[in-house]
């Protein structure tokens, strides 16, 4: 009886160890490709240029990390509201596109070490709106499923506004703001400042809704892949290549 018990225990241990083995990095290296999900309208992190090519700060970072890992980065546009499902169901290997680290997302996925600081800001067009208090009873636009959406929902501003207009992309929200169909847009500072610098008529309120950080989204079980990304990004910061890419997109700011 004791021999049977020991045999079953050993079998269980071997099975458990095999099941728990993390091949996430090895699998990526074997297939020589890493599929990265993104919202391809999220300038300047990841977006399409006039020729339709996907470019951006995160695109350059991801390409450099992939090259150092010995694989090719392939970028796959996804609906942002469902991108975490795409990651967890293995339709993509990573989310790398200005992904803000939030408590809601940390319950579902892993994050790399934060690599970018960001704020949640509010953009308006009407110069008479100078503060959050002036938004009382106004319509607010926000991208569904975004960090901006969660920051807004958890803020006192949500209680002051009359209506929330939800959009698939930030670009759609800003187009409605420009057309006067919404009064303000809650948005990541990095994309909000990019668009206001490219197009006149938008005003950024001085108040900050929330301070946040961005990271690479990774499946919970893919610890080996996370560790490799963290190590590679740290090496890039140490050798100056991270800063070179940063200056390409943001100057010396």
Query: Within this chain, do residues 60 and 143 fall inside the same structural domain, yes or no?
Result: no
Count of domains for the chain: 2
| Average pLDDT over every residue of 196-210 | 89
Give the model's pLDDT for residue 82: 95
**Which range of residues forms the domain containing residue 177?**
118-212
Query: Within this chain, do residues 109 and 170 fall inside the same structural domain, yes or no?
Result: no
Query: Within this chain, do residues 101 and 32 fall inside the same structural domain, yes or no?
Result: yes
How many angstroms separate the CA atoms of 88 and 149, rounded? Answer: 21
The percent of residues above 70 in pLDDT, for the chain, comes to 91
pLDDT for 75 beyond 80: yes
Say if 204 falls within a structural domain. Answer: yes
Query: Within this chain, do residues 231 and 201 fall inside the same structural domain, yes or no?
Result: no
Using DSSP, state whether 194 is helix, strand or coil.
Answer: helix
Decide: 135 and 183 in contact? Cβ < 8 Å: yes
The percent of residues above 90 in pLDDT, for the chain, comes to 79
Which tens digit of pLDDT belongs to each residue from 210-243? 999 999 999 999 999 999 999 999 999 999 999 9
* Average pLDDT over the chain, rounded to an integer: 91
Could you tell me the pTM of the whole model? 0.77
Give the confidence band of 21 by pLDDT, cuts at 50, 70, 90.
confident
Say if 68 falls within a structural domain. Answer: yes
Give the model's pLDDT for residue 9: 46
Which tens digit of pLDDT belongs to each residue from 86-141? 999 999 999 999 999 999 999 999 999 999 999 999 999 999 999 999 999 999 99
Decide: 42 and 97 in contact? Cβ < 8 Å: yes
Say if 5 falls within a structural domain. Answer: no
Give the confidence band of 4 by pLDDT, cuts at 50, 70, 90.
low
Separation in Å, CA 79 to CA 4, 53, 66, 192: 52, 18, 23, 20
Give the model's pLDDT for residue 228: 98
Query: Within this chain, do residues 26 and 63 fall inside the same structural domain, yes or no?
Result: yes
pLDDT for 55 beyond 90: yes
Query: Within this chain, do residues 179 and 241 fall inside the same structural domain, yes or no?
Result: no
Which tens digit of pLDDT belongs to each residue from 151-198? 999 898 888 887 899 999 999 999 999 999 999 999 999 989 888 888
Query: Within this chain, do residues 170 and 222 fall inside the same structural domain, yes or no?
Result: no
pLDDT for 71 beyond 50: yes
């Amino acid at each position: 009886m004791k021999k049977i018990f020991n045999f079953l225990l050993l079998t269980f241990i071997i099975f458990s160890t095999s099941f728990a083995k993390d091949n996430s990095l090895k699998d990526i290296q074997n297939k020589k490709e890493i599929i990265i999900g993104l919202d391809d309208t999220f300038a300047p992190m990841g977006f399409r240029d006039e020729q339709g090519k996907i470019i951006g700060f995160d695109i350059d970072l991801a390409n450099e990390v992939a090259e150092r890992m010995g694989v090719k980065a392939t970028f796959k546009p996804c609906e942002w509201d469902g991108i975490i499902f795409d990651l967890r169901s293995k339709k993509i290997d990573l989310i790398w596109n200005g992904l803000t680290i939030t408590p809601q997302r940390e319950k579902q996925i892993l994050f790399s070490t934060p690599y970018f600081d960001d704020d949640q800001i509010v953009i308006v067009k009407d110069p008479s709106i100078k503060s959050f208090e002036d938004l009382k009873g106004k319509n607010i636009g926000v991208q569904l499923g975004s960090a901006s959406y969660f920051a807004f929902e958890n803020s006192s501003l949500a209680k002051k506004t009359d209506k929330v207009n939800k959009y698939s992309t930030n670009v759609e929200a800003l187009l409605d703001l420009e057309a006067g169909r919404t009064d303000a847009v809650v948005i990541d500072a990095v994309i909000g400042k990019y668009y206001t610098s490219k197009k006149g008529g938008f005003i950024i309120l001085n108040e900050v809704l929330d301070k946040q950080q961005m990271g690479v989204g990774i499946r919970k079980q893919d610890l080996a892949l996370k560790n490799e990304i963290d190590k590679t990004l740290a090496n890039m910061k140490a050798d100056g290549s991270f800063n070179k890419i940063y200056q390409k997109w943001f100057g010396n700011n």
